[in-house]
Amino acid sequence: MRIKINGRFQDIKDISDLQELIRIKGLSGKAIVIEHNHNIIPKDKWNEVMLEEGDTVEIVSFVGGG
Amino acid sequence: MRIKINGRFQDIKDISDLQELIRIKGLSGKAIVIEHNHNIIPKDKWNEVMLEEGDTVEIVSFVGGG
Amino acid sequence: MRIKINGRFQDIKDISDLQELIRIKGLSGKAIVIEHNHNIIPKDKWNEVMLEEGDTVEIVSFVGGG
Amino acid sequence: MRIKINGRFQDIKDISDLQELIRIKGLSGKAIVIEHNHNIIPKDKWNEVMLEEGDTVEIVSFVGGG
Amino acid sequence: MSDILRIADRSFDSRLFVGTGKFPDKRVIGDVIKACGCQMVTVALRRVDEKSDDENILDYIPSDCIIMINTSGARNADEAIRIARLARAMGCGRWIKIEVIPDNKYLLPDNVETLKATETLVSEGFILLAYMNPDLIIARALAKAGAAAVMPLGAPIGSGRGFKTKEIVKIMVNELDVPVIVDAGLGSPADAAACMELGCDAVLVNTAIAISKDPVMEAKAFDFAVNAGRTHYILSGSALPAPRAACASSPLTGFLRDGNKV
Amino acid sequence: MSDILRIADRSFDSRLFVGTGKFPDKRVIGDVIKACGCQMVTVALRRVDEKSDDENILDYIPSDCIIMINTSGARNADEAIRIARLARAMGCGRWIKIEVIPDNKYLLPDNVETLKATETLVSEGFILLAYMNPDLIIARALAKAGAAAVMPLGAPIGSGRGFKTKEIVKIMVNELDVPVIVDAGLGSPADAAACMELGCDAVLVNTAIAISKDPVMEAKAFDFAVNAGRTHYILSGSALPAPRAACASSPLTGFLRDGNKV
Amino acid sequence: MSDILRIADRSFDSRLFVGTGKFPDKRVIGDVIKACGCQMVTVALRRVDEKSDDENILDYIPSDCIIMINTSGARNADEAIRIARLARAMGCGRWIKIEVIPDNKYLLPDNVETLKATETLVSEGFILLAYMNPDLIIARALAKAGAAAVMPLGAPIGSGRGFKTKEIVKIMVNELDVPVIVDAGLGSPADAAACMELGCDAVLVNTAIAISKDPVMEAKAFDFAVNAGRTHYILSGSALPAPRAACASSPLTGFLRDGNKV
Amino acid sequence: MSDILRIADRSFDSRLFVGTGKFPDKRVIGDVIKACGCQMVTVALRRVDEKSDDENILDYIPSDCIIMINTSGARNADEAIRIARLARAMGCGRWIKIEVIPDNKYLLPDNVETLKATETLVSEGFILLAYMNPDLIIARALAKAGAAAVMPLGAPIGSGRGFKTKEIVKIMVNELDVPVIVDAGLGSPADAAACMELGCDAVLVNTAIAISKDPVMEAKAFDFAVNAGRTHYILSGSALPAPRAACASSPLTGFLRDGNKV
């Protein structure tokens, strides 16, 4: 399955929902937010959002800024 | 007949068109432009535009400016 | 006897030395310095310096300054 | 004969006066001034000033300056 | 002397806001903030970098600080709005520094898009501080649209050139009802003091502190300077002459305006 | 040295534009223009004053000058557009200086309404020069909308405070493809020379000339200064360092943008 | 950060020196000094006024402060020397601020007479700080004559015009081995910070504090600003480019000098 | 408008003095002088270089120009006096620009030695213009000693930093009876115009012209700027406020002076 994560297309196997995606990516899940097809997904819904071919996912967090 | 000339209501008698208005006002007609009810009226049409109760007339000219 | 005190000539009677002058002038003697005929006179010598006609005395103290 | 010309000691042979010195140095003599042992020597006296061992000669001219 | 800055529903004792970008070592940020008494810090939002460690900038910020998310990276109103909404989803509250920058060289803001984003986000309940090119008329529009403060630049971001926009900023200070906070370009404490003496309500400093040999000492220096300038303004500011008003070169009468007198 | 300023389809030898307001005696205007070689003058448009004599400002302007009508009095785009159309109906050609000023105290322009008026009037065939608050992004938008030149203010109109907006104007000069003409606030020839040395394409001066004890001499002085500054710019300007670019305090990677790389 | 200013045999933690003139109420002076941590104050010497009460300015100065007597009123070296000797006779120690001012309008100092007085008084064991017109060569001569510090003016005394002599003072800071203390003309804390950021060793402020609505608060503000500027200088000053050296327009060779190479 | 500068017994139409150092090609000097109408040029005196061709700088200077010899290379009064005497022996008349510079880095002048040299040379019949560090009191002494004009520096020689000494020079202009000519450091025509608008009587420019890509054009530009600034000064200068006078911080009464009232 090919989805676009943070602007880059990636081939993803054996991942069905956002919760898994985060886990596989090795992200702690703290202090990040996910946009799925331009909708912000609350953390407690991550395991309800199924990934599909062509989906766009943005995973963002805070960094230092002025 | 009451018309609004340059922002002030004035009672006008015995004037039927813009050409007469300019003459009565003592303006030379050079270097001025007339707006009648928000339409710019070319000089050669001044004698064709009849004044009516409630009309709005703007008569403008150039002045020094920066 | 006419002496010049702080730039002004003054007539002084019944005063023989600097110590008396200071007392008569009502000055406490603290935080002032006296120059007698351009010589600085230490406080403990005030009673030894006799005033004479034409003497010049400067009595100075500190004031606020930048 | 050793004389100091413009700050540098130089050995000079067969030169007796300032006039000759200028000629030998290949200087035109226009727009220069000579100081001999700290005395300014007018041009018409150059052939009267004899050089001696240890003399100091300054030959100066104008240059661009601000 | 009680001298509290109020923005929206919050009060600030400190008029020095600090940005958290560019610190060579992020762990110093907490000490910087404590040292200068800062109560408002800015952070940015970026795509996670999977390769970097799972560092969270928020961990370095004392909990009593207000965290204001800037919308850096936004080139137009829509992108700024999107960033603001994501920031809120992350639980960072409602404080947003709108920053819309289409220009990559001088990083100068787009006032028009900034205004658009402000209108939308205010209606969604955000508290907006608007980074802007100094401009009285746009600043008024921003205030009318609900911006909690305006943040004119002193010089291009990170340039350290100082407070180069005094002429327009002084007019903004005199004319606006919302706080005016100079943001960007301040290079030294004297610059910050000059902003405060002019009557600005606060300054935001990032680069000058972050790249200092000693960010903690530098932050203290800025704090001292801000206090010094503010105190001087309070004691003498009202005695200063207002900026010289303009004097029209075209006549001020005879305007062609409906409903106006001649 | 050939050094021609081109605006729209016209060429200008003189880089000093002159406003005609505020002259105590209008009859001097012709001499002023001739003395300084000015090829572009501005006039305003007002309701006729029936009581004053039938004086026509245009009579004082040499026929080879371009007359540019300013839209002073306009508080928004619509009023500016109306004035421009009236001006054209008077046979004064197509040169308009857009000037939209909602602020009566500092006479600062409204960049947003100025942009709106520009878009409309360009489509109607006018040649537009836009008086503006210094702002790179709006200036780019004005240029894109077809403005023939941008005219950032040096200081509030008529204030004579000088060239106080160097920081942003220098960046405009470096970045824009349209002429940059400093308009308003210049108080003396040295101010005008400083504008030209920075690389501005021209200056517009009104008050400093009009209220001088001797407007003809003063206009000559401004002309001299403009030439002096321009010459220096040509001879040395390209050697000058460009304004220091900005340096982001928030990271320049990881932007949340569609279609972008990480 | 240990950062001690040494003048002669003394160390100073505070780089803000305070003058005691012009205070509407002298009783505030003690609070002012304590508030800003000042360790060096100036006083003047005058003929006693028999009519006024027997107030002693020294009573208001904390005992751990160094009291430096200025020679104000002196129009030449002899008068300054006389004042210095009287001051010492009063038991006020050896600290003298030489101030020789023949000019009543701008109160500008006479550098030549200042140098003369310095030479004499140093030989008598005084510690001299020399108020001066900014001038590198005279400053070097003063240092060579034994002045413990030089005090170039920032602007005319009491004018509050600010730090207007940066160009020469910066060169003095770079070239001199004695402390450089800006004295006179500073109007606000930002001015003081700017002096310190340039590398000056201290500032002396009187009027701006004395005539403030609240001298205690104002003194604190100056102290904050001095610390802020000093800290910034220490952290970044050494990284700043030195003032651009001169570049002779006349040739640098061929000088007519005895004992020199061509 | 008749506006003649008088120095000693001579009248000058042009207020731009030009130095002849540093021209890459000396042959251009004649064209430079003619182009800008300069009537006063400076040259230096050096030991002849036997190896170089027998070029005479004077050949390039129009015969109606006054040639003023500077004493560059002099480190003290005696050396300056020696150079002046040599110059006169060369038949170059009596005009000397005293320039005593002990400092090799910033080329700052020694005001004290300058004054000494002036006293001697005036008594020998020279016409002296004194290059100096800006200083009112020394300038008064120079005028009293017979200097025909004083020449305060604008910035270090050849630095091109501009007119950085306005504060003191403005006071000199207001207080002195001899001409005040800014010499050194001016980098562009706008700098020269600013000097003239302040009321200076002339400027001396060398480096900025000599190193220009086109010295003839640059000289014209400076001439234009000088005229522009001068005209503005004449038309408005008298209307300008005088520099703010000083305001003593020490009391102005009770001075310890012989023969004075209390």
E118 with E130: CB under 8 angstroms?
yes
Query: From the CB coordinates, do chains H and A have 3 or more pairs under 8 Å?
Result: no
Chain B neighbors of F20, CB-CB under 8 A: 64-66
DSSP E4-49: -EEETTEEES--EEEE-TT-SSGGGHHHHHHHHT--EEEEEEEE--
Give the model's confidence band at G37: pLDDT under 50 very low, under 70 low, under 90 confident, else very high: very high
Q: Which chains touch D (3 or more CB pairs under 8 A)?
A: G, H
Most confident of C33-42, G58-67, G125-134: G125-134
pLDDT tens string D11-52: 888 888 999 888 888 887 678 899 999 899 988 899 999 998
C-alpha distance from residue F117 to each of C37, E182, F76, F97, F176 (Å): 86, 31, 8, 11, 20
Q: Among residues of chain G, what percentage have pLDDT more than 90?
A: 77
Distance CA(G166)–CA(G150), nearest Å, equals 15
End-to-end CA distance of chain B: 38
- Which stretches in chain E have pLDDT values below 70? 1, 51-54, 238-244, 258-262
C-alpha distance from residue A18 to each of A48, A50, E86 (Å): 8, 7, 16
CA–CA min distance F104, chain E (Å): 8
pLDDT tens string F194-237: 999 999 999 999 999 999 999 999 999 999 999 999 999 999 87
Is D66 in contact with G257 (Cβ distance < 8 A)?
A: no
For the beta carbon of residue H193, count every other beta carbon within 10 angstroms. 36
Q: Which chains touch E (3 or more CB pairs under 8 A)?
A: A, B, F, G
CA–CA min distance G3, chain C (Å): 25
Say which of F34, F97, F170, F220 is annotated catalytic: F97
Average pLDDT, chain G: 91
User: Cα E54 to the chain's mean position, in Å?
Assistant: 29
pLDDT tens string F10-64: 999 999 999 999 999 999 999 999 999 999 999 999 888 776 655 788 889 998 9
Q: Which residues of G29-57 are buried (b: 16+ CB within 10 A; e: fewer)?
A: beebbebbbbbbbbbbbbbbbeeeeebbb
Distance CA(G155)–CA(G137), nearest Å, equals 19
Check the CA dihedral G2-G3-G5-G8 and report its sign.
positive
Interface of A with F (CB under 8 A): 6-8, 56, 58, 60, 63-66
pLDDT tens string E174-205: 999 999 999 999 999 999 999 999 999 999 99
pLDDT of residue E221: 97
Task: Specify the length of chain A in residues.
Answer: 66
User: Which of D7, D8, D65 has the CB atom closest to G251's CB atom?
Assistant: D65
Say which of E97, E116, E166, E170 is annotated catalytic: E97
C-alpha distance from residue A28 to each of A8, H1, H222 (Å): 21, 83, 68
Closest residue on chain D to H26 (Cα): D64
Is E262 in contact with B63 (Cβ distance < 8 A)?
A: no
HSE value, Cβ hemisphere, 13 Å, CA-based, for F33: 24
Q: Which residues of F170-181 are buried (b: 16+ CB within 10 A; e: fewer)?
A: bbbbbbbebbbb
CA–CA min distance H107, chain G (Å): 6
Average pLDDT, chain F: 91
Is E90 in contact with A7 (Cβ distance < 8 A)?
A: no
Give the model's confidence band at F240: pLDDT under 50 very low, under 70 low, under 90 confident, else very high: low
Give the model's confidence band at G262: pLDDT under 50 very low, under 70 low, under 90 confident, else very high: very low
Distance CA(D35)–CA(H59), nearest Å, equals 23
C-alpha distance from residue H36 to each of F188, F235, H39, H96 (Å): 22, 16, 9, 22
- Residue ranges of E 15-34 with Cβ closer than 8 A to chain A: 19-23, 26, 29
Give the model's confidence band at F262: pLDDT under 50 very low, under 70 low, under 90 confident, else very high: very low
F185 pLDDT more than 80? yes
Tokens of E157: 């971001």
pLDDT tens string B32-66: 899 999 899 988 899 999 998 999 999 998 989 99
User: Which of B7, B26, B63 has the CB atom closest to F44's CB atom?
Assistant: B63
Tokens of F30: 């012709």
Pairs of residues, one from chain A and one from chain F, whose beta carbons lie less than 8 Å apart: 24
**Amino acid at residue number F115:** L
D56 with D4: CB under 8 angstroms?
yes
> Among A46-50, F5-9, H89-93, H172-176, where is mean pLDDT lowest?
H89-93
For the question of residue H51 being annotated catalytic, the response is no
Q: Return the residue in D34, D57, D60, D62 with the most chain H beta carbons within 10 A, the one to mutate for interface testing.
A: D62
G194 with G163: CB under 8 angstroms?
yes
Chain F neighbors of E86, CB-CB under 8 A: 256
G209 by Cβ neighbours in 10 Å (0-12 / 13-18 / 19+) ranks as buried
B24 pLDDT more than 90? no
pLDDT of residue F261: 44
Mean pLDDT of G28-38: 95
Q: Among residues of chain A, what percentage have pLDDT more than 70?
A: 98
A58 with E89: CB under 8 angstroms?
no
Chain C neighbors of G86, CB-CB under 8 A: 33, 35, 40, 58, 60
- Which stretches in chain H have pLDDT values below 50? 260-262
Query: From the CB coordinates, do chains C and G have 3 or more pairs under 8 Å?
Result: yes
- G204 and C CB contact within 8 Å: yes
Q: Which of A24, H140, F233, H58 is nearest to D63 (CA)?
A: H58
Check the CA dihedral G149-G153-G157-G163 and report its sign.
negative
Closest residue on chain G to H107 (Cα): G246
Interface of G with E (CB under 8 A): 1, 188-190, 193-194, 197, 212-214, 217-218, 220-225, 227-229, 231-232, 235-236
User: Which of G214, G221, G232 has the CB atom closest to E228's CB atom?
Assistant: G221
Tokens of F2: 């050939």
Q: Return the residue in C4, C5, C6, C56 with the most chain H beta carbons within 10 A, the one to mutate for interface testing.
A: C6
